[in-house]
Amino acid sequence: MAERFVNDFEQPYEQIEPFAWLRMQGVGGRLLGWEGQSYRFSELDFMARAHDGYGTNWPINYKRLVPYYEEAERYLRIVGTTDNIPQLPDSIYSKAAAQSLAEGLIREPAAKHLGIKVIPARLSQRSFAKREQRESDERGYTPLGAIEQGLRTGRLTLRTGAIVTELIVEGNQVRGVQIVEGESSISEAYANVVFLCASTLESTRLLLRCACLKSNKTLGRYLMDHVMGGGAFGYVDMPKAALAASKREPQRIYIPRFRNIDHRITNGFIRGYGIQGKVITDSPEECLAEKSSRVTKTIRLRVVLSAFGECLARYENSVALSATTDRWGRPNLAIGARWCKNEERLMQDAATQCTRLLEVCGVKDIQTTSMLSTPGLAIHEVGTARMGENPEESVVDPNCEAHAVRGLFVTDGACWVSSGCQNPTLTMLAITGMACEVVTRRFNLEKRRT
Ligand SMILES: Cc1cc2nc3c(=O)[nH]c(=O)nc-3n(C[C@H](O)[C@H](O)[C@H](O)COP(=O)(O)OP(=O)(O)OC[C@H]3O[C@@H](n4cnc5c(N)ncnc54)[C@H](O)[C@@H]3O)c2cc1C
């Protein structure tokens, strides 16, 4: 998979503060490499300011997104369990997750000793397959499947390898995009509706180049990524038979946010974190040698817990155009983001909680991890063109349409107001579905009028 990532030497960006910008170019984008962890936001996330007084509420609520979550979930085929957790609403599952060895090990002691709820990770079904099978077997569940469906309608033109370099805007109406193909062949494509979903920072690069958005004070601001690094790992010796019995199940668990659900603040921090857990073997060859008489009947497994914490939306975390340009003549990006005390405290707390969790589960040789990730490393970057009712304080409206440019929709992570602590892709898809319906309704209305 490494070869799919953009080479930073070939496509550089400026790091005002250390920032890891992990990009995959080509049809399908980073969804061709994702793990499939899929969690809804809840009202607590959309209305976070109402809960703790920090930042800005989203201009849309959970209820508005529900039908689009459902549509995205049916498409992604999520495997999970009905858990009835208000801060992590259930999805529509294509299949119930069976109990894994990881869940069997952690669930009960976590509930009994710490009152912490452990659930199977909610995974898009395609992530169950081996990596090499993904593209061939699972097209129906990847973005490629959606594109293939579109192509079959005969109304979709796919320009593989084309790079959009600029938006074409007349007055306050989008008219299309300028494209570079190969190294230098420039052309234009025209449309009265343009959906920008080139990934958070790439979409914002195009917006920053747009003359009529230059005066917007929030464009490029409030960059977020999930903070990682708080966690713990240790070892258990398992009978090989138990491993063999459950090896078809993904050994992944999820611990939904449990901090600041009823409270506003805990241990000096607001918001919370979700914990992703897995049980892995450091010696897969020993697992394979199950029947060999030379090997023991138990196997040492590593139990890993890692937290993903909410990043506060802060004006000073930003992206801007740099003075240097790339090989297509586009200004490079200058990215400057750093964690604040809240993120540090979140991860300290996560490290303590993960360690306690492993202790109560009888895990041995526990090591606590608490070094914060470099911003960007979670690959969950969001913000920089946020949505809102007020054009003075946001870039797009609650339908994701730019306040200043009619017909221009920004539906990837760029339009996010806060980061939550859940993996973001499911919510990105739901928001895109919502904006698509807005456009469809507008066209149908216009058609009826003419
Ligand atoms: C290894 C890995 C594991 C992950 N696991 C998870 C997970 O379990 N759960 C989760 O929720 N998220 C996960 N993510 C994050 C997830 O992949 C992203 O949230 C998601 O892909 C973002 O979608 P996007 O369409 O905004 O951006 P991308 O997936 O990056 O797609 C952007 C697309 O736009 C194209 N593009 C960019 N600029 C231009 C331009 N100027 N002109 C034309 N085209 C352009 C790109 O080529 C690409 O095709 C993971 C990411 C990685 C890398």
- List pLDDT tens digits, range 37-56: 999 999 999 999 999 999 99
Which of 4, 13, 31 for a ligand 1 pocket mutation test, highest count of atoms within 8 Å of Cβ? 31
Q: State which amino acid sits at residue 146.
A: A
- Give the residue from 400, 22, 10 showing the smallest Cα distance to 199: 22
How is residue 60 written in tokens?
């849309």
Ligand 1 site, residue 73, Cβ cutoff 6 A: no
- Which of 38-52, 96-110, 164-178, 283-297 shows the lowest mean pLDDT across its residues? 283-297
Residues 6+ apart with CB under 8 A from 38: 73, 76, 78, 91, 122, 123, 124, 423, 425, 426
- Which of 138-152, 306-320, 408-422 shows the lowest mean pLDDT across its residues? 138-152
Helices and strands counted in the chain (H then E): 11, 17
Checking if the pLDDT of 14 tops 50, the result is: yes
* pLDDT at residue 216, rounded to an integer: 97
CB 349 within 8 A of CB 227: no
* pLDDT at residue 214, rounded to an integer: 92
How is residue 85 written in tokens?
């957790």
The number of beta carbons lying within 10 Å of the beta carbon of residue 335 is: 26
- Give the residue from 298, 290, 304 showing the smallest Cα distance to 251: 304
Compute the distance between CA of residue 379 and CA of residue 400 in angstroms, rounded to an integer.
Answer: 22
Ligand 1 centre distance from Cα of residue 436 (Å): 19
Better-predicted residue by pLDDT, 185 or 372: 372
Q: Domain residues for 342?
A: 2-449
Residues 6+ apart with CB under 8 A from 413: 199, 200, 380, 381, 382, 383, 424, 428
* pLDDT at residue 295, rounded to an integer: 57
Angle subtended by helix axes 425-449 and 62-76, to nearest 10: 110
Ligand 1 site, residue 225, Cβ cutoff 6 A: no
3-state secondary structure of 238: strand
- Which of 66-80, 108-122, 234-248 shows the lowest mean pLDDT across its residues? 234-248
Checking if the pLDDT of 132 tops 60, the result is: no
Work out whether the CA dihedral 208, 214, 216, 217 comes out positive or negative.
positive
- Which of 95-99, 197-201, 245-249, 334-338 shows the lowest mean pLDDT across its residues? 245-249
- Give the pLDDT band (50/70/90) at residue 136: very low
Closest atom, ligand 1, to C-alpha of 123? 8
The one-character DSSP state at 13 is -
Ligand 1, atom 25, residue with closest C-alpha: 199
Ligand 1 centre distance from Cα of residue 413 (Å): 10
Number of domains in the chain: 1
- Which of 50-64, 68-82, 86-100, 289-303 shows the lowest mean pLDDT across its residues? 289-303
Task: Calculate mean pLDDT across residues 253-261.
Answer: 98
360-386 confidence digits (pLDDT tens): 999 999 999 999 999 999 999 999 999
**E strands, 337-414, in order:** 364-369, 408-410
17-35 confidence digits (pLDDT tens): 999 999 998 888 998 888 8
Compute the distance between CA of residue 342 and CA of residue 392 in angstroms, rounded to an integer.
Answer: 27
H or E element at residue 343: helix 341-360
Ligand 1 site, residue 35, Cβ cutoff 6 A: yes
389-429 confidence digits (pLDDT tens): 999 999 999 999 999 999 999 999 999 999 999 999 999 99
Ligand 1 centre distance from Cα of residue 28 (Å): 8
Ligand 1, atom 19, residue with closest C-alpha: 425
Ligand 1 centre distance from Cα of residue 205 (Å): 15
- Give the pLDDT band (50/70/90) at residue 115: very high
Checking if the pLDDT of 138 tops 60, the result is: no
Checking if the pLDDT of 284 tops 80, the result is: no
- Round the average pLDDT of the chain to a whole number and report it: 91
* pLDDT at residue 139, rounded to an integer: 46
Distances (CA, A) of 34 to 11, 385, 429: 22, 24, 14
Ligand 1 site, residue 413, Cβ cutoff 6 A: yes
Q: State which amino acid sits at residue 141.
A: Y
Angle subtended by helix axes 101-109 and 341-360, to nearest 10: 100
* pLDDT at residue 316, rounded to an integer: 98
Better-predicted residue by pLDDT, 249 or 353: 353
- Give the pLDDT band (50/70/90) at residue 248: low
Ligand 1 site, residue 260, Cβ cutoff 6 A: no
